Structure 1
Amino acid sequence: MGSPRTSRKSRGSRRRRWASLLGATALAVTAGGALAAPAGAASNVDFATHCIPPAIAGLPPIDGTTTAKITVDNTSPKVGDTVTVTYTVVAAAASNPTAIDLPADIMTPTGKVTLGGAQTGDVTVAGPRKNDPVPGHAAFPSFSMTGTFTVTSPGAITLSPGDYNIHTSYLLELDTVCTVTNPPAPVSETVTAAANPPANTRSISLGSASGSPGDPVAFTGSGFTPGATVTVAGRSGSDETADRTTVTADSSGGISGSLVVNDLTTSGLVAYEGGSWSSDLGAGPVAYIVIDDTPVPEGSQKLTTTVKAGTLSMSQAGDAVAMSAVDFGSGDASTGDLNAVTVKDYRGGPAGWSLTGKVTDFSGPGAKIDAGKLSWTPACTTKAGSPSTCQAGSAGVVGSAGATLASAPDGTLTGGEFTANAGLSLHVPAFTTPGSYAGVLTLTLT
């Protein structure tokens, strides 16, 4: 058994050997003071950072500077909206402390974004386990982390970069924790939230669904502004007919009365506050049919016809997409185009529709590519003369949870023919096992 001095020397030698071996996963901090950046929309900001490398690396805490940027997917949300936040560390206060080259995809970052102004708190963000190889003594690459928060207060909400942690998985699972020296860090982004008006709960119901010309139809309603003047009118498609009356909402917002319907084209009744129809202040339309029982004059013949409601359907231009090949080790995107999808809405009612898609994992030779690696950029066109106008879904990840390809909103009269398609992009991780991979994209029309 060696002397105490020999034992301490031996322990110190082992510590240095571990530090030499594991230093590849530790972070060295570049010294420098914080550079205050003015607040602004999605601007890079510098802030003083205190980083603590893994203890086993044998490196002391070092103070340095981080350059970061906060971006959001919506700078003008309403109360109740969910905002996606991306925290990008443009230049970490860290570099590879050894001459050892670090392999790709060993870094998993997490952190937080600090909210201020009209809403306070922290947004937890996380990034994928993905990074380019880092040469010895080279600066660590930029990385991004994302998270979401729900807007709870109207007004200007500031977003500042907060503490972050880099977890490394190389030889051992280690963490390097970096904190803001003088929190909060400078503001990088500001969103202005609007108050969200309460949902429209106005409703109207009828005493009967049909009647002869000149018959009165009883109606009741609720959810209107107490004491407001409410117009009850006939509707033919998207136009009002001459059939109308006004009533005053009682102290609880209820209405009641009757409307004499004369116009043979009336197909429904609406009720609304204000000088004209508004979906925010109205109710209906509620279906009502005028039965034309006018006697046929002597020597005449009454001709009738019926427009039959159809169905909501879709068809595809094909059932297979051959996406572009990628080189082994490149980590490039495999791209392609979704076969065009034709939506036909011949129902002739007030309902809109939604076309969504979800994808399975891409299975290959003893390996797979996660479904979350597939993204799309949707597009949608409306055939001329269609009552509705389709809307393309948002560009982004499809994944197993699914996303919207296209949709059409509810309306007084909807329908038409639409063509939806999308550009596809599958991120193939670097060094994915060579071979053919296939996933199934399922589209659902509702």
Structure 2
Amino acid sequence: MAVGMAVLAATTAGALGPPAAAEGEAPSGQVEFPTHCLPPQEAGLPPADGPTTARITVDDPAPKVGGTVTVTYQVARTPAVNPLGAELPADVLTPTGRILLGGAQGGEVTVVGAKRNDPVQAGAGLPPVTMTGTFTVTAPGGITLAPGGYTLHTSHLLDLDTACAVTGAPVSERITASLPPATAGGTPSRANLRSVALGAAYGKPGARVKVTGVGFAPGAAVTVTGRAGAAETADRVAATADARGEVRAELPVTDRATTAVVAYEGTAWSAQAGSGPAAYTVIAAAPVGTQHTQQVTAVVEPGALTMSQAGASITLGAVPYGEGGAAPGRIGTVTVKDARGGPAGWSLIGKVTDFTGPGGVRIPGASLSWTPSCTAVAGSPGRCVAGSAGTVGPEGAVLASAPDAEPVGGTFTIDATVTLTVPPYTPPGAYTAVLTLTLS
């Protein structure tokens, strides 16, 4: 999954110059669509019809096939109202919903939100909600994301569901998926297309959740288990993939720490043989009688894999005409932040074009070499491995990486000294190339 790209330009008599403009992310749009909300029968209220205003955003608008995309479904306005005849207390509303995929990849994404609401007066509209989930990219090309139906579950005195049906909502977000980069031998790296979908996005402790998985090796033994962040919970069941690589299982969810469900082949989850997490929320039953207890829940939300870079260009030392030789310099410091909270590692790859000078004279990109270094900021649980010293060139080289492990994540600073070997009697002038860094 490519999550960032830095573009640098180089100019020289030996030197490097201003950067090319980075490609912009596709904008996310707020949309409005008609909604039919059915209150619970216990409320004795009529259906609520009206517009829903919503927005869908993604953490990666240009993923690779086999990568995992985190999606966020924000409902800013809903026609649904408080189903109680009294004030609805704070933090008793759990939203769940669906996002509809189209274009190069079809299907649905289940999204779940945390209990995070202000008090709602009797008869007043329910407040804005935010839901998140993930899906695995299975095909290259343009993929559209449109809002689907959502359910607003309230757990005070009674467990009540307000179900809002959506028909023909407009597309709110678009992403463009591409195939993984080729390996050193020229063969495309194999994408992990394993994914799971859940029959329900929430339930009480002990509920049996229907799990459907695709993309597994035919006949493989598969473990379906609950997750809390990067750690597995006590919820677990074994299954076997059929001849088409599909897995069907029922997972009893009794561990209240479970926040997602994954499936994997082998003895432990890995980025190569496991599915991405499908969000799930365990909802405790509402207290009865004269009890006055409250459950306090702290939610640690997964973040993204991001990259930033200091400086706008690289300037190499000058080389005398006739003598040629090494034009030294260094890249701007790159900072990688991994806040995904999972066991998957990352890699930072650099590629450089040929250097072009006066009259179209070129210095091959393979003439640029580097010596990388990588340091984990204090407190980071993961480790960083610097790439090997050597040629960068148009084929690319690893600047730094982090292996798959438990745990991973943190903040890392990456630097590299660079040297351009300029042939003797290279015509004087400025020579420009573009160095592209890709984080995936």
- TM-score if structure 1 supplies the norm length? 0.46
* Larger gyration radius, structure 1 or structure 2: 1
- TM-score if structure 2 supplies the norm length? 0.47
